Amino acid sequence: MKQRLIIDMDDVMADATGQFIDTYEKEFGVRVARESLNGKTEGAGWPHPQEVLYQFTFRPQFFRTMRVNEGAQEVVRQLNEKYSVFIVSSAMEFPNSLREKLDWLKEHFPFLHWKQFVFCGSKSIVHGDYMIDDLPHNLDTFGGRRLLFTAPHNMQFTQYERLNNWREVGALLL
Amino acid sequence: MKQRLIIDMDDVMADATGQFIDTYEKEFGVRVARESLNGKTEGAGWPHPQEVLYQFTFRPQFFRTMRVNEGAQEVVRQLNEKYSVFIVSSAMEFPNSLREKLDWLKEHFPFLHWKQFVFCGSKSIVHGDYMIDDLPHNLDTFGGRRLLFTAPHNMQFTQYERLNNWREVGALLL
């Protein structure tokens, strides 16, 4: 039986940080440098308070139009042969995101089946052998091997094994 | 720590069978008696083949306008005090259903938090202490105590502990 591998979407498969930067630039005319966000918790490091960025997540198309992170498609395609892959995303807070995330997955990862997708509120409900996530609090409740995917907002955390990009994911798991 | 209780939506919290009967009547002018469906697998027992009923599930508002099953609101409210309740629904096959199920839960079960909702394709991904579901194949992969909630299409199954209605759920778990 294949081992179960759980993969997050935002800032793992999808470039959520890039989407925030692009949306912020369109809205306020200022392009925030990705590197300037390093080591700052989500929402910190921006000229406006976190509440302003939070509003972006309720806008139609915000989740639908995210770019795919470099290497994600090819590595997930290979992982999908070796593991029982589940894509698990904390989508429930953002009602628009549900359909948009499903459509995004179907567009960019057409080799995955809808049976492999999970949209939840709390990731404590899922179980498996590996979890790749950018948020330490999602890894905290996981019973398997916990892998922190590097994003600007998690640079300061050291408690979990870190994977800096999809090349490193492939090197570890393939 | 509270025990985790996983509850299904269609034909457990929501009267999915009733919605099929109503929709079929509107479409074809024939009201199928609920009792005539007893012991027949999903989609069997209807004048038209299963494919016709399957189309209903892709229509806007099909999931949004289901009635709440009798007693579900009050018993779930009480269960929510005693257990760590998660609502887990196989919604991913039906893209419209994602937002509709979320809105339905918010309307009829406003005392639940979005962190308690899970929309998936395969229920093998969730773990907990109890699962209440009308479909034996969802219970098959569950590691906790498996409780089959009676629906016309599962009358013929005997392998799981059966709960016939929300009164019986309350009597067992409260």
pLDDT digits (tens, 9 = 90+) for A39-71: 998 888 899 999 999 999 999 999 999 999 999
- Tokens of residue B103, six digits: 């809105």
For residue A92, give the nearest of B114, B121, B127 by CB distance: B114
| A115:B121 CB<8 A | yes
Residue A28 Cα, gap to closest chain B Cα (Å): 30
Residues on A contacting B at a C-beta cutoff of 8 Å: 4, 6, 86, 88, 92-93, 95-96, 98-99, 102-103, 113-122, 125-128
Q: Show Cβ contacts of residue B123 under 8 Å, excluding neighbours closer than 6 positions.
A: B6, B88, B90, B131, B133, B138, B141, B142
Structural domains for chain B: 4-15+67-173 (3.40.50.1000), 16-56 (no CATH)
- Tokens of residue A11, six digits: 């800032």
pLDDT tens string B19-66: 999 999 999 999 999 999 999 988 888 999 999 999 999 999 999 999
What's the first-to-final CA gap in chain B, in angstroms?
16
Residue B126: DSSP 8-state: B
Q: Tokens 């948020």 appear where?
A: A135
Please report, as a single letter, which amino acid is at residue A143: G
pTM of the model: 0.97
Report chain A's mean pLDDT, rounded to a whole number: 97
Q: CB burial class (10 A; 0-12, 13-18, 19+) of residue B61?
A: exposed
| B118:A118 CB<8 A | yes
Q: Which residue of A1, A87, A119 is the best one to mutate when testing the B interface, meaning the one whose CB has the most B CBs within 10 A?
A: A119
Nearest residue of chain A to residue B92 (CA atoms): A114
Q: Tokens 């490091």 appear where?
A: A45
Report ipTM (2 d.p.): 0.96
